[in-house]
Structure 1
Amino acid sequence: MSDQRLKDIVPFVASVEEGSFTAAAERLHLTGSAISKSISRLESRLGSRLLERTTRRLELTDAGKAYYQTCIRILEELAEAESVLAAHRTIPSGRLRLAVPNTYGRLGVMPLLIPFCQHHPEIDLSLTFSDRFVDLFEEGIDVAVRIGQPADLPASLGCRHIGREKMVFCASPEYLKREGTPQDEAQLMQHQAILYERVDGSSKPWLLTTADGHPDWRNVPYRMALGDVDAQVQAICAGLGVGQMPTWLVHAQLQRGELAVILPQHQPEGLALTLVWPRRKQLLPKVDALLNALSQLTISPPLAARALDQ
């Protein structure tokens, strides 16, 4: 990258963020004419119009939006590289972007993030809740917490395995009193199932294990298939049927006696919990501090003893 290219990026980003050449000029201590010439030079070199000039405000074109996101990443990476090399930046500080799954992020990650932020007041945390596998490089994410993991990770990503889900069959005490408690797999399959519905519209089967310990996925008729795990828990607690749920999701309901475990001998392992991050960011004090904090995560909390005795 030539010096001139980098020089033109800064006025472009400032113009977008400030909304006018005049405001960008004030921010960068330049003249409005210098800002305008820099943007024109940039557009000429790229062969695309990046900004539409209106009487009130600058507006990004589609090409401008894509280029702006690239420029932001470049400037952030430069700032992070400097922070690694600067001796005075050994204290974790700066903007930190974390991506977490929706429900597990709320129940499992947030309790750790609160003391983390209190302990590191110089870190500004940006938290994204999403059940999709975000592209860390495309979206500028520093660390992601993932339940489930693609088999092959690129060498550019670091990964830390935290544990695996523990799955249990459960139902409300009222449901079991009304319908009876199944004593084996055959009886379990006769009960009304509350399943999770995937994005493609298919229902997630129940997971059992064979005599030799291999996973055995069973497609079962269901009363309800819900595309949201919180709604699934609500339906099971309301006595509408039986569900197979990860212990981290129903731990509180089991402790309060709102749910009871069925066939406690069937507790197969579910999806893995992992931390992933761009390897080039691992030396940043803020990223290292967050990885250390998140290493305390758990995905299979112990079940309440009284819940197992229901």
Structure 2
Amino acid sequence: MERHSNSPMIQISPAPERQERLDGITVFVEVVRLGSFASAAEHLGLTRSAVGKAMARLEARLAKRLFHRTTRVQSLTDDGHIYYEHGLRALAELQAAEAQMESGQHEVTGRLRVSMPVLFGRHCVAPILLDLARQHPSLNLNLSFSDRPVDVLAEGFDLAIRSGVLGAESEGLRARKLVVQRKRVCASPDYLAAHGRPQSSAELAAHSILLYRRGDRINVWQLPDATGRIVDMSLYSRLQLDDLEAIADAATAGLGLAWLPEWLVRERLRTGSLVSVLDDQPGATLQCHAVWPSAPHMLLRLRLAVDALVEQLPKVVDGIPG
């Protein structure tokens, strides 16, 4: 093998020691990035004890304390800050090298940690990613379902599916539009027979409304006013739920009008258990994006996952057979 005369001389340790050093750097960077031994342990699939021992071995090898430790607070020493900055750059370089090497491969390997909304993820996103995993047996998927807006960078996700407008929390991330979700105002036939069918959004105030509420945030209906302009509608509701499928169930039971994604109620509309109203009035749509940490090179497993979602998600949302 040709020797690069301009390359610095590096002392190579035996293989087990090299692996332990690399593992120690990885664990250390995750502890700092996630803020605690416990969070790093969960993210890396290790026990908290294993993380603690890895940090103890690293500090012993360096003969430096990397953390200030008290009973309640854990912070970096000056040496810890220096080691973290260098470790972070080293791991970034390794990730970039991995991405470049992967670009010539057809087999997808490694772990992909994905966050997605609960119902949209379960009904629309997860089937696509699970099919990708079926095609690539060496791909390890870690799917997390939550309706809260996760911090992609701080919580160590490789990819997140976001519904709605991307805001300032998307700094440091890259994004790609996946699909536009249409929404329907709908109710059961029994409800409409008893209370009448609204002919315009202005008539909604006279009806029982089923609202989605999560914590202090209410999902405001966005429909056209008398001039046709899409506006936020302030509608009173005595029934507020934090699960869209439960709202669909309540609407099917005749408890009121619901404003729901079309993909969620498509089968109920087909069977007639729900009826769509105000179809001649355009309503607001909901954009969906894939977001991931910005990096010089995109890992093959991440790129293929995003490409699969871009290609297949519109068909799933629109009910087009695959």
TM superposition score normalised by structure 1: 0.74
| Counterpart amino acid of residue 131 in structure 1 | D
Q: For each residue in 1:117-163, what CA deviation from the matched residue of structure 2 results, as whole angstroms up to 9, or x when unmatched?
A: 11111110111112222222212211111101334576642211123
Is the 8 Å Cα contact of residues 167 and 246 (structure 1) preserved in structure 2?
yes
Q: Which residue of 2 aligns with 1:293?
A: 308
CA shift for structure 1 position 176: 1.6
Which letter does structure 2 place at the counterpart of 1:230? E
Determine the structure 2 residue equivalent to 1:48.
68
Counterparts of 2:177 and 2:239 in 1: how far apart (Å)?
33
Residues 282 and 101 from structure 1, CA distance in 2 versus in 1: closer, same or farther, beyond 3 angstroms?
farther
In structure 2, distance between residues paired with 1:228 and 1:62: 37
Q: Could you tell me how far 1:300 is from its partner in structure 2?
A: 5.3
- Per the alignment, residue 213 of structure 2 pairs with 197
Q: Does 1:94 align with 2:110?
A: yes
Deviates more, 1:217-226 or 1:79-88: 79-88
> Can you list the C-alpha shifts for 1:205-247, whole angstroms capped at 9, x where unaligned?
3321135542222212223111222221111111111111121
The answer as to whether partners of 1:246 and 1:300 remain within 8 angstroms in 2 is no
Asked whether the equivalents of residues 248 and 301 of structure 1 are also in contact (C-alpha less than 8 Å), the reply is yes
Q: What SS is found at the alignment partner of 1:138?
A: coil
Structure 1 counterpart of 2:74:
63
**In structure 2, how many angstroms separate the alpha carbons of the residues matched to 1:166 and 1:219?**
20
Instruction: Supply the AA of the counterpart residue of 2:263.
Output: W
Sort the Cα spacing of 1:279 and 1:302 in 2 relative to 1 into closer, same or farther, 3 A. same
| Inter-partner Cα distance in structure 1 for 2:73 and 2:318 | 47
Of the three residues 35, 39, 43, the one matched with 2:59 is 39
* Structure 1 contact 237–258 (Cα < 8 Å) conserved: yes
Alignment of 1:190-229 (within 5 A): 190-200=206-216, 203-210=218-225, 212-229=227-244
Of stretches 157-166 and 7-16 in structure 1, the one that deviates more from structure 2 is 7-16
**Equivalent residue for 1:284, pick from 292, 299, 305:** 299
Work out whether residues 184 and 263 of structure 1, in 8 Å CA contact, stay in contact via their aligned partners in 2: yes
Unmatched tracts of structure 1, length 5 or more = 25-34, 53-60, 304-310
Q: In the alignment, does 2:269 pair up with 1:254?
A: yes
- Cα distance between partner residues in 1 of 2:92 and 2:286: 32
Asked whether 1:240 is paired with 2:255, we answer yes
Structure 2 vs 1, CA of residues 93 and 169 (structure 1 numbering), >3 Å: closer, same or farther? Answer: same
**Matched-pair contact (CA < 8 Å) for 1:282–1:288:** no
Letter of the aligned partner of 1:210 in structure 2? D
- 1:257: how far off? 1.8
Sequence identity, in percent? 30
Conservation of the 8 A alpha-carbon contact between 1:167 and 1:247: yes
CA contact 1:161–1:274 (8 Å) conserved in 2 = yes
The match for 1:112 among 128, 145, 170 is 128
Q: CA deviation at 1:172?
A: 1.0
Q: Does 1:163 align with 2:159?
A: no
* 1:10/1:162 CA distance change after superposition, 3 Å: closer
Amino acid in structure 1 at the alignment position of 2:159: V
The answer as to whether partners of 1:11 and 1:39 remain within 8 angstroms in 2 is no
Q: What per-residue deviation string (whole Å, max 9, x for no partner) do you get for residues 160-195 of structure 1?
A: 112332222100112122222223334432111111
1:231 aligns with 2:246: yes
Selected match of 1:83 from 98, 101, 125: 98
Q: TM-score, normalised by structure 2?
A: 0.71
Cα distance between partner residues in 1 of 2:148 and 2:297:
23
Paired residue for 2:288? 273
Residues 223, 130 of structure 1: alpha-carbon distance in 2 compared, 3 angstrom cutoff? same
Residue equivalent to 1:55: none
